[in-house]
Amino acid sequence: MVGDLGDAIEQDPDVLQARRIADVARTRLVACMAGSQDVIDLAEAQRMLDAFRNAVSYAEEAEDRVLVHRGLLSNDEAGRRAARRRPVTVRAERAVRPAQGAADERRARRTRLGQVIAGALALAATAVVGAALGRRLGVRPPRTRW
């Protein structure tokens, strides 16, 4: 039974997608921290850490949904577990430094690109979670008449 449950969790498409997102976030965090101590942008590193924590939280919620679907976890307990791991909010604090030339421009471009990618990952994770919940709860989109 335990092996079957582990397989069910491992093969669930929502869990797989959430884990892929977490892997991408972890890779971005490691890449952000791999530079020398003088080059690391602490604000960017904090945002990447927050994105990684959020992605891990989404993966854990997807695993909980599998447990709820199998009847091994109640909806109330899943709600309490989700409340304990609320998503981390992105911190708005930024240190403003005077421009130091082309290196700062490249870093700023990379930061903006990172923000766009992180936003796309968050949007994809939200869409996956919303679609999974809709599918699990049997919600159908409303019919419209034009």
All residue ranges of the chain with pLDDT < 70 are 1-3, 35-38, 87-104, 141-142, 144-146
The whole-number pLDDT of residue 59 equals 87
The whole-number pLDDT of residue 134 equals 79
The pLDDT tens digits for 96-105 are 444 456 666 7
Give which of 93, 63, 90 is closest to 78, Cα–Cα.
63
The whole-number pLDDT of residue 98 equals 46
Q: How far is CA 59 from the centre of its chain?
A: 8
Domain ranges of the chain: 2-92+101-137
Alpha helix segments (H runs only) across 34-143: 42-69, 75-84, 102-137
71 sits in the region (left: phi over 0; alpha: psi -120 to 50; else beta) called: left
55 contacts 22 by C-beta, under 8 angstroms: yes
